[in-house]
Each structure stands twice: as C-alpha cells, then as structure tokens.
Chains A and B, each alone.
Chain A
Amino acid sequence: MSSQVQVQAQSLVQSVDWLAIAPPTIAAVVALVVLVADLFLGDHRKALLGWISVAGLALAGLALLPLLDGDRSTFCLTGDPDVCSYTADRFTLVVQFLVLGGALLAALLSMTALKDADKDADKELPEGEFWFLLLSSAAGAALLPASRDLATLIVALEVASLPAFALVGIRHGDRRSSEAALKFFLSSVTATAVSLMGVSFVYASTGTLYLTGIATGIEDVDGQLHTLAQAGVVLTLVGFAFKTAAVPFHFWVPDTYVGAPLPVAAYLSVVGKAVGFSGLILVTVIALPSYADVWGPALAALAALTMTIGNVGALRQRPTRAYSAVRLLAWSSVGQAGYLLVPIAAAAYSEDAEKAVGSTLAYALMYAAVNLGAFAVAALVARTKPLNRVGDYRGLYASRPLAALVLGFFLLCLAGLPPGVIGLFAKVTVFSAAVDAGLGWLAVVMAVNVVIALFYYLQWTSLLFRAPEGEPAAHRVPAPLTAAIALTAVLGVALSGAPQLVLRFSDTGLF
C-alpha cells in the first residue's frame, strides 16, 4: 500500500532542476528580500536597497553561466520527459541575458533617479516598492522565454507586465504619471484578455497547452474546428504584438514613456520589447510552424506598418517641445520594434526559421545596449534640464565632450551608420533575413524607413556638436549613472569591433 502511494506520488511530482530555473528565481527571491528589508531599514539607508537589487540582478545574470550548454529543461511531464514547461536552451539564455542585463542597467539609472527624487519632498518615490516591482517584473520577463507551455507563457507575461503598470504610475500625485499608468494598464489588460481568449481557442482545438504538443496537434485539427484554431492563432498573437508596441497597439508608448520615470521608460523600451518578441517567437515558430501562412503575412504587414508609423512619429517631434527627447526615443523604439518583427515574419517564409529568429535576437541585443545607453545619457542631461527637450542637447559637446560623443555614437548605432558599425551590421542581418526569405517588398519598406530614421537621429546628433547657448552648468555625475553610460558605451564599441559576438546567434541553432 505505502509503496503504491510512493509510486503514485513520484508520477505526480515533477523533479525540479533548480539550477536551470535559477535566473528568474534569484530575481524573484531578491525582490522579496528587498520588500522585507525595506521594513527594517531607516530612511537614510534606503540606498542599500538599490545596491541589493543591482547585486541580485548581477547574480541572476551570473547564474546563466552554468547553463551555457543550453541543454537543460525541467518541469517535464512525468510520463513523457520530452515535453517540458521550462527549457533553458540557447534562445532562452540569450533572452534572459538581455532581460537581466537590461534590468541591471535600468536599475543603475534608477539609483540616481531615486536619489534625486529623495531631495525633493514632493517628488519622493517609495524606494522599497520601486525595487520590488522592478525585480518582480524582471523575474517575469526572465521566465517568459523559458516557458514552453501557453499557461506558463501567459503567467510570465502577466508577472512581467503587472509590476510595470505600477512602476509607470509610481510618482504619487503626479497627474501625468497616473494617466500614463492607466492608459498603459487598460490597453494592456485588453490585449491580455484577447490573447487569453486566443489561448483558449487553441487549447480547445488541440487539447494541449504545451507548445510542441500544439505544433503537432494543430496539424490534424478537426475540419470543423479549423476556423476556431485560426482565430485562436490570430488572437494569441495580438497580446504579444501589444507588448512589442507593434502598430496598431503602439499608441500607449509615447505617453507612457513620458509619464513614467525615465529609468522605467528605459526598462520598458528594452525589457518590455524583449518580452513581447520572445513570446511572439515562441508562439509562432515553435507552437504554430504549420500556420506560417497565417502569421507570416500578418507579421510582415505589422512590421511594415510599425516601422513606418514609428519613424514618421519620431520625425514629427519638434525639438522645442517639452519632453521631446523621451518622446522621440519612444517613437523611435516603435520604429525599431518594426525592424525586430521583420525576421520573425521572414521565419514564416524561409526554410531555416531559427536563422531568421537569430537575426531578431542579434538585433535586439544591439538595440538593448545602445538604446539603454541613449536613455542613460538622457537621464544625465535631465538632471540639469528636467524638461528634456531635444533642443536642450544643443552644445552638449562643449560641456560634456565624452557624454556627447557617446550619445552621438548610440544614435548613429540606432540609425545604422558608421561609426556605429554594430548598428549597421545588425540591420544587415535583418535585411538579409528578409531578402533570403524573398520578402523583397518588406526589405524596400525597411530601406526607406532607415533613411527616415537617419534624418531624426542625425538631426539630434548634429545638435550635440553645435555651439552651446549660454554657459553650461557643471555638476558631478553620480557613480551609478557613470557606470551605466560607461558599460553601454564599452559594449557598443566592443560590439562594433567584433560584431560576431552578437551576430553569431543568427547563424546557429537556438532551440
């Protein structure tokens, strides 16, 4: 009797590979530690929380090292060890690295922002909550690329998003901040609800939630359920398209970025996007390869629309308008999301889907480094010029030559022109994915967009080197901010010298 129970228990209880799930787990545990520690720390020692969080994120990043072989998976079905809910393959590791690294840089920016907010009693931010939310969101974002069933995927998506709403609205009493949070929340919840409905359709037609199960199951769906399955595919994609801020789900971006504290905007622009596109890749390439004729054209059209509208939106920003620098970055991030979608769409048409997806990863890594860098310099400038207009960057070279050179470099990387060599080659991989898949029209649309984007990036860049207006106000740059700028700059320059470091993902097996 007792042995029977034991056997039964063994077949029910899944074995857990703690090492494999370490990266998101560490982030989540540190989040709880910070929340509790907040209760016991005096006001003047709150800065410690920031350092704990940064250390936690760094530790979570280091936990990726033992997994480098990329062959671990856990939470597998006891009956069928090949079907797992959590897989730490190369794709997972790359996205987790991106997410945790992005969160780490955002945390470095936040330390300065929180410290500055502390000086002003009106604008004070609750530090414990802030770090808790940031870390929980990062934990969710790190879980998402590893999840291999739809339930985990949706849960991870929500864990990544819900704290983000609170982060956007964290400035108590700031009308713009709450409005942004509400906008973000409502549109996001709608998208999630839609994609949940899609998941339920897919589940109804295939009878499984595991992505690999869906891939095989959906091929022999009952003829009557065919429409249901197709509708399910489209609806599921909507939720993730929202996260990547793809058009027409982009309208929340500019207001949310402006309303949120700058580091949170930086976090959303990189980690939020990573969450969206990794979800999209999982759902399309792994779960629904046989429906490529449905999502392929849809994503291609989405990509074309997204980059065009994003770039035109960025083009229309007047440099004298308040917060125009952040708005420009927000719109340009919409445009960049369009480029990120191109290889995913191309995966539908090409024989080697993994190679195409690898181009997205390579581009995302480049984008994460330089976009966070641009936000870091924006945070630096915002310390003296809180309105953060593009016009405020005029003559930055005279007062801060290094910061100006670095920002110019980041912007040219985003534009994809030398000296931003890595930006250029990241664009080349995206182009080559499109050309290889025969998506010539999309490549041409993207080519035109690159030219549009160059206009506003270069306009900003050339402003940096103009003669300054008035005397520049000198102030000391806080260490975390310097560290963030230096880290991204070193990354950008190193990648420009050795683009293979990120581009190799477009050439190897990922899953």
Chain B
Amino acid sequence: MIDINESVMQFLLAFVVVAPLLGAAAALLPAPPGLKGKSPEQAVLRHGVTVTGAVLIAAIVLALGFDHDTPATAQRMQATTDISWIPALDVRIHLGIDGISLPLLVLTALLTFLCALYSYFHLPSGPSPKAFVALVLVLESGTLATFAVLDLLLFFLAFEMVLIPMYFLIARWGGEQRTRAAWKFILYTLLGSVVMLLGLLLIGLRAGTFDMVALATDNHPELTTSVQVVAVLAVGIGLAVKTPMWPLHSWLPDAHTAAPTVGSVLLAGVLLKMGTYGFVRILLPVAPDGMSTFAPYLAALAVVGIIYGSLACLALARQGAKGDLKRLIAYSSVGHMGFVLLGIASMTPTGVNGALFANIAHGLITGLLFFLVGALKDRTGTTDLDTLAQETGAALYGRAPRLGGLLAFAAVASLGLPGLAGFWGEMLALFGAFDPADGLSRPAFLTFMAIAAFGTLLTAAYLLVVVRRVCMGATSQRESPALADVRPYEFAAWTPLVVLTVVAGLWPKVLLGLTDPAVQQLLSGGTR
C-alpha cells in the first residue's frame, strides 16, 4: 500500500460514487465547444470513457491506499464518511470500504470502463448514444454506491437505482424479445427488493439503527431469533432474486439473451454481485441466528442451482437444441452463483472468503465471455450454437485463431481450471461446505458438497462441448467466410480481464489477504 491521507481517501470514495451521476447529467447536455469532437455521438462516447476512466483511476488509488498490512485497521472500515441526511428516517450518508467491498468496487469500475471503451469503438446499435452513456453511468453509480454505503436504507436506494437504467438498456438497445425480457427483469427484481425493504425496515426499526457497522458490531438483544428469521426470509428473497438463486432465476436467461453486449457484461459482472454482497454484508453479521436457521435451505437451493444450471447448459449445448450462447452463459451464471451461495451458507470464514473470491472471478470471466460472444455475434450475426457450428463446428481456431483462443481460455477459466481465477473460489466454497459452522448439520453439508463437486464435472462437460463446437471443426473454404480476428480495441478491452484472471489464479493471496481480515471480523460479530 501507499500512504494516503484519510481525507483524500474519503474524497476519493465519495467521488467514485458521485462522479458517474454528474457525468450522466453532463452527458445529456450538449458538448461544450472545444470538446465537440468529430460528431456529437463520438463526443458523448468519449465523455463516457473519460468519466469511467477517472472513476477507475480513483478506485485504483483507493485500492492502493487501502491499509491491509496493519491487522487492526485491515479489519475496519476505511475512508469512512458519515453525514446525517434524513434525520427523520435516521438515514445517514455513511460510506466506507473494507476488504469485502473494495474488490467489488474496483471490479465495477474496471468493467464499466472497459464497457465504455468497447462502446467507443463499437457503437451500440439503437437510439442515440447520448442516453446510452448516461444510463451506463447511472448504472455504474448505483452499483458502486451499493458496495460503498453502510446504511441499510441507502443500500436499498442504491439497489433500486440500477433498475431503471438496466431496464432501458435492455429495452432500447437489446436484441429480440427485448421488451419482454426487460419487463421480466425489472418486475422480478423490484418485487424482490420491495420485500427486501420490509425486512430491512424490520431490522432497522427493531434495533433502532440503520447503520450497518453499528448493527454488525453492537449487541442487539431486540433482534430476537424470531425477528431475525422473518428478516432473513424477507431480505433473503430480495437478494436471492438478484443473485439469482434457483428457483428465482428465471428472469436472468431472458435478460442476458436480450441485452446488448455491454448490458450483459455489466449484468453478469457486477449486478449479480449486489445480491451476494448483500448476503455477506447484511445478513451474516446482523442476523446470524436467522441466517443459521436458513443456511441449510440456502445451501440446498444453491446446490440445486449448480446442478440445474449445468444441466440446462448441457441441454443447450447439445447438437440440434438451438441453444443460444448468451443464454447458455446466463445459465452457467446460475450455476456459478450457486457456488457463491453455498460458500455463504457454510457460514465459515473459508466458505465466505471462497464466495467473495468466486464473486470476483465470475465477474472477470463471465464479463470476458459475454464480450467474446458479443464479438462473435457482430462477426457472424448470430449467437445460435447450431447455426454457428453447423455440421462440424464453427472452427474458430481456423477462421479467427486469436478469438478462438480467447474463447477457449475464458471457457476453461470458467470451468475452474486450477491456476486460473475460477478455481479458488469454488474450491474454497466446497471446503467451507466440508466443514460448516457450528450448529449447522455437517452430514447435510457434506451431501451438498458432494453434489456441488459433481456439478463442477458437469460444468466442465458443457464448457468443453461449447469449445469443441465453436472453436474446433473443419474449415471448408466455400462455406465459411473468413472472420475478422481480434481488433486492437477489443484487445484493449479484454486484456485486463485476461491478465487479472491469470493473476487471481496464480496469486490468490492478493484477494484473499484483502477479504480474510474483514470476513473474520464480520463472522465474529465484531468482538475481535
């Protein structure tokens, strides 16, 4: 780390949350003279790159300035701001980062920047890019705020803030069936989050505070087990819809299939993380009794999600199933998020660390996968696996070797090859389930672990089938026209993801060293 003044850190964190909002407002205004660029479209897209770039730099500086060496401070919230906003509701603008939120914050800033960069060169097809940039920026602000705020009601506000921009991104810039998919997305998540609000209010009103830090560290005898059970149920439903947990996942495949590339990347990369982050940040520390009541059910549903997601993918990957690649990746997300939920449900430091690791890994890898599939769609005009592969396979290795190589890399990373990012999170989640927290039934969790381990095999199976059908195959000169290989801007947008996937796989300590102190602190209820 480098030593950065605390007030600079505070400013940076506030900047990270507010700058995209201001940028969104500025994007709607006409460009000032001198920044007009070649055309208004180009100017506004460049504006998007500038703003997200500035936010990314601020997030990186935050990460550099984050003190993870001193054990006492590494557990605590850093760069905190605490201002009263609505005294009537006891809502405070309480911002802060710890080892749990920092990686997600950086991931969000990075993915949004890469998306903005990608859109700058590859204009999204649809209405004016002005609104596109503004919506992406609002989306970024909402996601970053979700990870940065430490007040339950503010968390809810941030949670809701991403709905409208994502709705419009899907409904305006999406592909086929976009209207239906967008409605499904927003109605599911809203229903979930309103129920979540009721749970949050129950916690806050009973405990007398909405402050997450106070709720996590202080002892709140008012939160009896029965209150906790109701609260976990309500909050958990809202978060589970967002995550998504089987059987509340059915909005996800549609939304992913219809969304534009950038929308899919952000949806998979960061929006889903808001759900799992809520589990870790709110439910684990605030309502541990309620959580341990529901942990076996959560784990069971998570495991069902793993198996269900893999089986759905296998079915889609089969020849003649008319499987859509984007839909397939969406279902694979259901499976991957199942591992994250399993780790959380184990309620052990190992499991939760694994969940957080898998969160980041999924963001990187699935983000990359959606970028690649988006690129494939631009080149071939379809994401339908059968149309792509035809008889023998799409032969991407032959027609566009770099693209094919990257796709194979991402698929292999996604199936959890040791040495790449996907491996550690899922393994740690399984470890967590192997030895769950006291009070949880060990035999049940061992069973879950065994089934989930079987799920990794299925995951490997369908991803290899996809690689075989898309990357390999016979190239006949007549049928398959040459495909443009990876373009420079695509390289620029994808390289960071590839590099980080390798780094996180080879050197997991970077991430685990960051999350572990915070997780220990969280699970011990602030007593340490």
Contact = CB atoms under 8 A, between A and B. Distances in A.
**B interface SS class:** helix
A245 B187 CA distance: 27
B190 A435 contact: no
Interface in A431-460: 431-432, 435-436, 440, 443-444, 447-448, 450-451, 454-455, 458
Given A432-B201, A458-B186, A425 B89 contact: yes
Interface stretch (A10-18, A108-116, A364-372, A414-422): A414-422
B72 interface: no
A412 B167 CA distance: 13
Nearest to B141: A418
Interface in A302-357: none
A500 B88 CA distance: 6
A291 interface: no
Interface in B23-40: none
B163 A435 contact: no
Contacts of B187: 451, 454-455
A503 B91 CA distance: 11
B208 to A, nearest CB: 11
Nearest to B189: A451
Contacts of B202: 435
B157 A424 contact: yes
A499 B131 contact: no
A186 interface: no
B86 interface: yes
Contacts of B190: 417, 450-451, 454
Contacts of B138: 419
Contact of A435 (B86, B157, B201): B201
B197 A428 contact: yes
A384 interface: no
Contacts of B195: 444, 447
B19 to A, nearest CB: 16
Contacts of B91: 425
A464 to B, nearest CB: 11
Nearest to A355: B88
Best-buried of B88, B138, B183 by chain A (most CB within 10 Å): B88
B167 A458 contact: yes
Contacts, number: 96
Given A417-B164, A458-B186, A499 B86 contact: yes
B194 A418 contact: no
A503 B88 contact: yes
A444 B198 contact: yes
B186 A432 contact: no
A300 to B, nearest CB: 16
B201 A417 contact: no
A53 interface: no
A465 interface: yes
A438 to B, nearest CB: 10
A507 interface: yes
Nearest to A436: B205
Contact of A419 (B164, B167, B205): B164
B196 to A, nearest CB: 9
B85 interface: yes
Contact of B191 (A412, A435, A451): A451
A23 B87 CA distance: 30
Contacts of B161: 418-419
B153 interface: yes
B17 to A, nearest CB: 13
Contacts of B131: 465
Interface in B145-200: 153, 156-157, 160-161, 163-164, 167-168, 171-172, 183, 186-187, 190-191, 194-195, 197-198
B209 to A, nearest CB: 13
Given A429-B88, A432-B89, A500-B88, A462 B168 contact: yes
A440 B195 CA distance: 11
Interface string A491-503: 0000000011001
A500 B163 CA distance: 24
Looking at chain A, what size class is its interface with the partner chain?
20 to 34
B127 interface: yes
Contacts of B422: none
Best-buried of A440, A454, A507 by chain B (most CB within 10 Å): A454
A99 B268 CA distance: 48
Nearest to A419: B164
Best-buried of B85, B91, B191, B194 by chain A (most CB within 10 Å): B194
B89 A503 contact: yes
A505 B204 CA distance: 19
Interface in A457-502: 458, 462, 465, 467, 499-500
B198 A440 contact: yes
B142 interface: yes
A507 B168 CA distance: 36
B30 to A, nearest CB: 11
B88 A465 contact: no
A506 interface: yes
Nearest to B198: A443
Contacts of B164: 412, 417-419, 458
A273 B194 CA distance: 26
A175 interface: no
B309 to A, nearest CB: 26
Contacts of A443: 198
B88 A506 contact: yes
Interface in A362-419: 362, 412, 417-419
Interface in A256-297: none
Interface string B125-149: 0010001000000100010000000
B127 A435 contact: no
A450 to B, nearest CB: 5
Contacts of A503: 86, 88-89
A504 interface: yes
Nearest to B164: A417
Contacts of A429: 88-89
A462 B170 CA distance: 12
Contacts of A507: 87-89
Interface string B100-143: 00000000000000000000000000010001000000100010
A458 B157 CA distance: 18
A181 to B, nearest CB: 39
Contacts of A506: 88-89
Given A444-B198, A454-B190, A462 B88 contact: no
A444 B156 CA distance: 17
B205 A504 contact: no
B18 to A, nearest CB: 12
A500 B230 CA distance: 29
Given A417-B160, A431-B197, A435-B201, A462 B171 contact: yes
Given A417-B164, A447-B191, A451-B194, A500 B87 contact: yes
A500 B197 contact: no
B157 A421 contact: yes
Nearest to A408: B164
Nearest to A452: B187
Contacts of B167: 458, 462
Contacts of B230: 440
Contact of A417 (B163, B168, B171): B163
Interface string B61-98: 00000000000000000000000011111010000000
Given A454-B190, A507-B88, A465 B201 contact: no
State the 8 A-B residue pairs at the shortest beta-carbon distance, nearest first.
A507-B88, A447-B194, A503-B88, A418-B161, A435-B201, A451-B191, A500-B86, A504-B88
Given A417-B190, A418-B163, A450-B194, 12 more contacts: A417-B163, A432-B205, A447-B195, A447-B197, A448-B194, A451-B191, A455-B183, A455-B187, A458-B167, A462-B171, A499-B86, A499-B89
21 contacts: A418-B157, A418-B161, A421-B157, A428-B89, A428-B156, A429-B89, A431-B198, A432-B201, A432-B204, A435-B205, A436-B205, A440-B230, A443-B198, A447-B194, A447-B198, A462-B171, A465-B168, A500-B87, A500-B88, A503-B86, A504-B87
